[in-house]
Structure 1
Amino acid sequence: MDAADEKIEQYRSEIIGYLKECYGFHECDDIKEILRTISAYRARASILRQGIIKSPNPKFNRFRLDSLDPFLAEMTEQFKIWSRISSVEQFEWETTTKG
């Protein structure tokens, strides 16, 4: 295993850890915290992606295509989902307090 493989494995483990944490979001009552966490994960992945794009090593490009880009897409979806949940909860709160 060369240095690139080790770095890719480190990044892959980091991303898997983030995905495992996302799996537990349904147990959290603080939607704002969930949205902040998703934003932080996206920021970290974006930083990784920028560094990987600069690398001439094809292993990094493969990792980006196979793991990093799908992770970023999933975080975008998660943000949309939790934003929608937040909007629905806000609407429900507003309608119950008016009546």
Structure 2
Amino acid sequence: MPATFSYANILHAVGQVLDQIGVKSIAIHEEEDGLFVEGFNSDGQLQVQMRYDIASLYELVNRADIEAEELTTSQTSGVLSRFLSEHHRELVGASL
């Protein structure tokens, strides 16, 4: 199976990792052999630095794709509810 990854796939997978860590802001630098990612806390202090080479990105995106396929509709709505709650937002026109 030929691997074709878009920036959207890559950023989605990296974003999931950053969400799990709980960073509040990020900086992503594209490098010749991959990505260098920095995550910062709400005070702007460096919380995490990660370097992903091409092989690591491939593995990360594949794992994210597999996990996405396993999500059910109820799990997806739970993720949305948690995101909205964590970011002090609400879904307009719908009750959760």
TM-score by length of 1: 0.30
Structure ranking higher on relative contact order (CA contacts 8 Å, 6+ apart): 1
More strand by share: 2
Q: Which has the larger radius of gyration?
A: 1
